[in-house]
Amino acid sequence: MFYKLNKILKYEHIFKIYANLTLLSICLFLFSCTVNQEKPNNYMILEKIESNLTEYKELESLIVVKISSQQLFYLKSGQIEEIYRVSTSAYGTGSKVNSFKTPLGRHKISEKIGDGLPEGAILKGRRWTGAIANIIKEPIDTEFDVVTSRILWLTGLEQGKNLGSGVDSKSRYIYIHGTAEEGLIGKPASDGCVRMYNADVIALFNKVEINTEVLII
C-alpha cells in the first residue's frame, strides 16, 4: 500500500513539473511573438521613412506622421523615441487651399506657440483666450475644431506640393495641436491639422525646436 502511495505521489510530482514546464514554454512563446511583432513594425516604418527621406538618420530630430495608422513618431538621431496616437483630416489627404485635407510630404516647424500655457488652454488666432476647454473623452464629433494647449505651426518644404500658391501649408494654418475632442484621437476627424492628446502635444512641444523637420506620409 505504501509502495502504491509513493508511486502515486511520484507521478503527481512529475506531472506538476511537466505542467510548469509547459506553462513556461507557452509564456516564452507568447513573449517571443510579441517581440517579433514589434521589431518588424519599427523596421517597416523606418524603411518607409527612408524611402521618403533618405537622410533621416543624419537629422538630430524628426517628426513623422503616418496617416494610415494615425500615429506620430518622434525620432532622435534616426531612432524612434516616442510613438503618439493622433487624428488627421476627416476629409483625407491633400494640399489644396480650402480642402480641409492633411497635406503630405516634407515640412518643418516654423513657429512654436503656447509655451507655459495650462493644459487644455483654448487658443484662437494663436492667442490664449483665457479659457480652458472641456475635454471630451467620448468619441463625439462636435461642430467646433478647438485648438488647445500647444501649436506647432508647419510650413511646407516642397514647392508645388505643400509650398507656394494654392497649396501652402503655412497659409492653410496646418498645425500639430491639442484638441478638446480627445475621444476621437486615433481616427481621422480634424479639418486638416494633426490633433494630439493635450498631454502628448505638450510633451512633444518640449522635445522639438523650430525648424525640426516633419514628414507626413
Query: What is the per-residue pLDDT across 50-87, written as a single tens digit (0 to 9) for each?
Result: 999 999 999 999 999 999 999 999 999 999 999 999 99
Residue 103 pLDDT grade (very low, low, confident, very high; cuts 50, 70, 90): very high
Residue 39 pLDDT grade (very low, low, confident, very high; cuts 50, 70, 90): very low
Q: How much of the chain exceeds pLDDT 90, in percent?
A: 77
Average pLDDT, the chain: 89
pLDDT of residue 38: 41
* pLDDT surpassing 70 at residue 4: no
Query: Pairing state of beta strands 194-196 and 175-179?
Result: parallel
Could you give phi then psi for residue 193, rounded to 5 degrees? -75, 175
Q: What is the DSSP letter of 119?
A: T
Give me the count of residues in the chain: 217
Cα radius of gyration (the chain):
24
Segment 107-132 mean pLDDT: 98
The CATH code for residues 86-216 is 2.40.440
Are the C-beta atoms of 128 and 121 separated by less than 8 Å? yes
Instruction: Give domain limits for the chain.
Output: 1-52, 86-216
